[in-house]
């Protein structure tokens, strides 16, 4: 009888690194997780120490690997999924980063983006990349590092530096600096990758002042990304699947058919809808992107990005100290029959889609003498649902009207929030049995390339749902809640313009 095959998924997120080993039926065999520090050098700036990313990613991978292999199976492949847009530059020879990673949430390049916007190149960038001009994406982060680290631009021009999103950095470290590569889903988030012809775009490189010499090779999402050095896991293991976290979650949720849609509630919230082979350019400030590319076939998606979701609950815990764990937010929200007119707009690092306002900051509205932790906690949870509604409204205006929503991410353990989400959207919301869909998607890609899991169609048939939440809110209550939210958003936008 042969040894069972396992797949190790390395899931490198914004606040923690996780590693999950799956069997070939995509059941969880083992799991490990570690948080790492967030660095806030200035208002609106967010950084990570690349060495902390590497050490936590490697240690969790080793722990999950070791535990899994004591159960009799053998890890056959590695899949990687990662926080997207976060930018690192490192020395090609030593592998040493030249600056902290600039995180996707970071807004330091807002002025640079404003100037580019004034140059009237927005439509050209959107047509080529599917993206808007915003500090969120990698290109201006690359330029900032090259212009603020002494000698960096000269090193880059001479081919001595490598740029990568987190997947590229991990691949480089795992392979002993032998492979500098990324996949199409991560490349598509840089603002310098043409998602129509699937290549780095010379004109965009010129516009964003990024030297071609720093760029990685771009592969399909299921492909050969090299092997780990033998000393890391005791033997060389092939890296066979890579996808940005939101695309990986869509794969884990089996969003393989055009029109299927998922929303992930982690640090931020990201709604992604499969549009098949059609690249839909939004008229309502949503993003066009690549969902995945398998066997040379590209599948596109329409996406809305919310910068703050679970991070707002983390703020309740660590910033305000109103709760000691995320579970308490649900308990507090359940204490109230309604929100008592309290609204939180969690624009800690600006507002994402469909507003795209990196310059605004958060606010709390409607507080009075009786306002307490329960009202604020409930308002934070509600804000995530309201922002999702705004994305669905934008999608509807682009001619897309989903009939249901698949959800995942750490926040969806909160039953109160998920029910409110179904209520405010007026749609059924499906929660899967395995919430670790990001890691699941990475494992599936690697397993597909290793030929140890079934086809897309077979995987769709195996999709396992936990529960469906149906909308129970009246239309009048939905309108009242949304009117209050939109009034709060208008107020932070108006106040900024004064």
Is the Cβ–Cβ distance between 99 and 149 less than 8 Å?
yes
Q: Domain for residue 444, yes or no? A: no
Q: Domain for residue 170, yes or no? A: yes
- Distance separating alpha carbons of residues 285 and 283, to the nearest angstrom: 6
Domain end residue (candidates: 216, 244, 272): 244
Instruction: Give tens-digit pLDDT for 345-357.
Output: 999 878 887 887 8
Cα-Cα-Cα-Cα torsion 328, 329, 331, 334, nearest 10 degrees, comes to 180
40 and 10 in a common domain: yes
Q: Domain for residue 451, yes or no? A: no
Instruction: Give tens-digit pLDDT for 208-250.
Output: 999 999 999 999 999 999 999 999 999 999 999 999 999 999 9
- Distance separating alpha carbons of residues 381 and 154, to the nearest angstrom: 47
269 and 210 in a common domain: no
Q: Domain for residue 346, yes or no? A: yes
Domain end residue (candidates: 244, 267, 293): 244
Q: Which of 197, 196, 199 is nearest to 182 (CA)?
A: 199
**Residue 198 has what pLDDT?**
96
**Residue 268 has what pLDDT?**
83
- Distance separating alpha carbons of residues 430 and 470, to the nearest angstrom: 9
330 and 187 in a common domain: no
- Distance separating alpha carbons of residues 18 and 338, to the nearest angstrom: 36
225 and 126 in a common domain: yes
Interval 75-92 mean pLDDT: 96
**Distance set, CA 373 to CA 309, 313, 333, 336, 342 (Å):** 18, 12, 9, 11, 11
Instruction: Give tens-digit pLDDT for 289-343.
Output: 999 999 999 999 999 888 888 889 989 998 888 888 888 899 999 999 999 999 9
Is the Cβ–Cβ distance between 152 and 162 less than 8 Å?
no
132 and 109 in a common domain: yes
pTM equals: 0.85
Instruction: Give tens-digit pLDDT for 39-77.
Output: 999 988 999 999 999 999 999 999 999 999 999 899 999
> Which structural domain range is residue 287 located in?
254-432+464-498
Determine the length of the chain: 498
Total number of domains constituting the chain = 2
Under DSSP, is residue 436 helix (H, G, I), strand (E, B) or coil? coil
- In sequence order, the β-bridge partners of residue 217 are 181
How confident is the prediction for the chain on average, in pLDDT? 91
419 and 283 in a common domain: yes
- In sequence order, the β-bridge partners of residue 429 are 405, 469
Q: Domain for residue 389, yes or no? A: yes
**Residue 281 has what pLDDT?**
87
- Beta strand 217-219 with 181-183 is parallel
Residue 317, domain CATH? 3.30.420.40
**Residue 2 has what pLDDT?**
56
């Amino acid at each position: 009888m042969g040894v069972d095959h396992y797949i190790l998924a390395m899931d490198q997120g914004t606040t923690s690194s996780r590693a999950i080993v799956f069997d070939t039926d995509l059941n969880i065999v083992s799991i490990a997780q570690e948080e790492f520090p967030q660095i806030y050098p200035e208002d609106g700036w967010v950084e990570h120490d690349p060495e902390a990313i590497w050490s936590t990613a490697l240690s969790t991978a080793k722990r999950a690997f070791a535990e899994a292999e004591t159960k009799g199976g053998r890890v056959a492949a590695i899949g990687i999924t990662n926080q997207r847009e976060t930018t690192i530059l490192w020395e090609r020879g030593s592998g040493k980063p030249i600056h902290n990673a600039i995180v996707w949430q970071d807004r330091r390049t807002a002025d640079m983006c404003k100037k580019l916007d004034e140059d009237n190149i927005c439509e050209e960038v959107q047509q080529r990349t599917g993206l808007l001009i915003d500090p969120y994406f990698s290109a201006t982060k690359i330029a900032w590092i090259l212009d603020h680290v002494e000698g960096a631009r000269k090193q880059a021009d001479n081919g001595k530096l490598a740029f990568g999103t987190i997947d590229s950095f991990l691949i480089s470290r795992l392979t002993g600096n032998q492979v500098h590569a990324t996949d199409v889903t991560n490349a598509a988030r840089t603002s310098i990758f043409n998602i129509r012809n699937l290549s780095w775009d010379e004109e965009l490189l010129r516009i964003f002042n990024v030297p071609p010499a720093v760029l990685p090779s771009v592969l399909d999402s299921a492909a050969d990304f090299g092997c780990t050095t033998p000393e890391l896991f005791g033997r060389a293991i092939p890296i066979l699947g890579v996808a940005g976290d939101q695309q990986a979650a869509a794969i884990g949720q089996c969003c393989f058919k055009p029109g299927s849609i998922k929303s992930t509630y982690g640090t931020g919230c990201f709604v992604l809808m499969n549009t098949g082979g059609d690249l839909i350019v939004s008229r309502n400030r949503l993003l066009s992107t690549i969902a995945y590319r398998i066997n040379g076939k590209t599948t596109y998606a329409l996406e809305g990005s919310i910068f703050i979701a679970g991070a707002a609950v983390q703020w309740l815990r660590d910033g305000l100290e109103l709760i000691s764990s995320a579970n308490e937010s649900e308990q507090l929200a359940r204490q109230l029959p309604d929100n008592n007119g309290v609204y939180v707009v969690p624009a800690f690092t600006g507002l994402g889609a469909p507003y795209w306002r990196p310059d605004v900051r958060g606010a709390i509205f409607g507080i009075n003498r009786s306002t307490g932790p329960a009202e604020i906690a409930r308002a934070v949870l509600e804000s995530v649902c309201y922002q999702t509604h705004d994305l669905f409204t934008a999608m509807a205006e682009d001619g897309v009207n989903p009939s249901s929503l698949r959800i995942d991410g750490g926040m969806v353990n909160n039953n109160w929030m998920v029910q409110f989400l179904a209520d405010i959207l007026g749609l059924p919301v499906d929660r899967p049995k395995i919430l670790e869909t990001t890691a699941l998607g990475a494992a599936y890609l690697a397993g597909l390339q290793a030929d140890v899991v079934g086809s897309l169609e077979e995987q769709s048939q195996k999709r396992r749902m936990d529960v469906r939440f149906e909308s129970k809110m009246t239309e009048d209550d939905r309108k009242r809640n949304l009117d209050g939210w939109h009034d709060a958003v208008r107020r932070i936008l108006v106040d900024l313009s004064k």
